Amino acid sequence: YADLIKPRNFIDKSITDRWYGESHGGFHKMYVVEIVNVLHR
């Protein structure tokens, strides 16, 4: 699953500027994945 992080989805609005402000690159796409297998040589 992938979606863009949106300010309106935050419960605590005070962290958006601190962690997602322009100095941190702004809002970005978030990926949620599950690793189901790992191949190792």
Is the whole model's pTM more than 0.75, yes or no?
no
The mean of the pLDDT values for the chain is 88
**Which structural domain, as residue segments, surrounds residue 20?**
2-31
38 in any annotated domain: no
* For residue 40, pLDDT beyond 80: yes
Q: What is the pLDDT of residues 13-23, one digit of tens each?
A: 888 888 887 77
Distance CA 32, CA 4 (A): 11
pLDDT at 11: 92
37 in any annotated domain: no
* For residue 39, pLDDT beyond 80: yes
Sign of CA dihedral 35, 15, 28, 22: negative
Q: 3 with 33: CB under 8 angstroms?
A: no
Number of domains in the chain: 1
pLDDT at 17: 80
